[in-house]
Structure 1
């Protein structure tokens, strides 16, 4: 479930200390609150499903994410499934998942409450950078929404501009993680700017809030600007909702545009070595049948210079939905002095059609000239 990322970088996977790996600390799949030892002051409170996120004093690099007491009765079982899910993956996929997400390592319980929360690793320090704004600077976690801005904007806060290569590398890592969740049969739903960090130096991404994943479907919480047009309000999010939101996030990060112009940039792009990328993204975003949206694995393959094999023929041009209108520039506001200036009427261009009246006038002039010449000749002979 979505948890708003705090402006100061204090979210459910942030904090001081070294990054953690679920294999570095051997702990049971379920622990009691007392087993964790003392908890430090919260770095985040009352965000989404969590009442607090607190570092473990005796285990640097780890956090206790404590849930609200009104969680679903089956949430304990769902958490146990999430914690065990990486065991079904290949070793390489497990490595990618642990390195790129704050995957839950243990369920926290206490008497009368089997799902107090979960133990998760902190985000690695590589995702924290110094952001410069005028005379001030702030070291904080860099959210992935910076990739949905121009290189000039990114350079303006002191970060190295990614260029297309850096954007592509980050989107490949993002879709790597999405494809793994897809293989696990999990719905994430929270593909948006605030739920992933970006490392400009490492060209990598880190996904947070993954402890909210659910198998096959989950409640589709409203996310402004991320609503799936083919998922009716009040219905669950599923793998096809994930496909749309992932495509939207990748399109914005790859183009550096966060409005409708991203669609037009994608449509006009023929990226070298990635000829299938624009086709996959447009099918994700503009499909009229949600079940024919490409998968995360197909997008990842295209980003890695692979082919795109459609499961159905492409619709004809007339059957494709139109691109959303591009943003229009705001009208230029006149100063008070300018509002009193007379406005000149635009001059119409001269007509290209011949004017009959003018042709007649020219004919009479020719007749008069010829007559004068004849009279002069007759007078000369006499």
Structure 2
């Protein structure tokens, strides 16, 4: 079966009615902000998510912007959208109200048959990052390899998506172990539930075990790309170490024991401990330092035969793959640094010479006048 592109292959208009998205099979009910998520009849691979209540005018406008946003992206960013994100492709409207959204279902490669603890093979289910919040021994019992090479590959791909969101000022805010699926063979990730993302800012939302010291519950400040940097760093350090129930700083200390001092570990630590939001390294910075560490480190893994589930086999590709690579900035678009430097004010060489000559003439005239 040909894998659909999760935005470009949409068969829907940007705005559809309820009648345009009839249910074929219900995927979930009464979850979070939705009453139902169902597959759309006649359109395999596409889902309709119906909200508990119509979106506000502001939220509806943001969703409309998200639907159209890929049209303004570079080709490289569109590739990330089409392969790594369940991007909103249409608003479901009832008159003037937005009552739902259409998105792509996660491709089959992100589903796997895990083992139960008694050795039985379970039904296919999304392979989420939640599994990496456990030890290598635990993952092996479930039939999944999870040594550092596997964990690092998945985090590399996660940071690519984080960089995509940051480049377009998207505040996802909902970074969690269950909202990111992954595929073992390539380390590819797939992010879901991004239809409620903000652009520039988003209302504060509670995140159990994820409290940001710079955006605490006591202030409930609007969330920004800087709060996303913290959550992405927490997700990264916990998945790399398998340390779920400790403070991020403690997981960071465990990572130091395993990796030693290196620029990636340092940047990750700054993301977790910076005293000002803007001092937190961007996803792109974390991505670049992790890439350099992976390139410089020989990582091999040959799982014991008894731990290899039939559905989760093969080698982990540690080469920096092109399709999901951090996109280069188009040549006709100048790169945008985090902080735009102010150019020094300087005089050209000719101007300096003229100024010196003028000064000399003035001095001579003054001397003659005094004489």
Which residue matches 1:121?
104
Q: Distance in 2 between matches of 1:266 and 1:282?
A: 10
Relative contact order, higher structure (CA 8 A, sep 6+) = 2
TM-score (normalised: structure 2): 0.73
Larger Rg: 1
Which residue matches 2:168?
184
Q: Distance in 2 between matches of 1:192 and 1:302?
A: 22
Which residue matches 2:289?
302
Structure-to-structure mapping, 1:10-89, within 5 angstroms: 21-36=6-21, 38-89=22-73
Deviation at 1:76, TM superposition (A): 2.1
Contact 2:54 2:99 in 1 (8 A): no
Aligned length: 289
Q: Distance in 1 between matches of 2:171 and 2:213?
A: 18
CA RMSD of aligned residues (A): 2.3
TM-score (normalised: structure 1): 0.71
Deviation at 1:164, TM superposition (A): 1.6
Deviation at 1:121, TM superposition (A): 0.3
Q: Distance in 1 between matches of 2:9 and 2:51?
A: 24
Which residue matches 2:113?
130
Are 2:83 and 1:99 aligned? yes
Are 2:278 and 1:291 aligned? yes
Q: Distance in 2 between matches of 1:85 and 1:71?
A: 19
Indicate which of 147, 151, 155 corresponds to 2:136: 151
Deviation at 1:269, TM superposition (A): 4.8
Consecutive unaligned residues in structure 2, runs of 5 or more: 296-336, 340-371
Q: Distance in 2 between matches of 1:57 and 1:205?
A: 27
Which residue matches 1:203?
187
Are 2:265 and 1:278 aligned? yes
Q: Secondary structure at the match of 1:154?
A: helix
CA offset digits 1:177-206 (Å, max 9, x no partner): 011100111101111111111212231111
Structure-to-structure mapping, 1:231-270, within 5 angstroms: 231-233=215-217, 234-258=220-244, 259-260=246-247, 261-270=250-259
Change (3 A) 1:62 1:254: same
Deviation at 1:70, TM superposition (A): 4.4
Indicate which of 221, 245, 260 corresponds to 2:205: 221
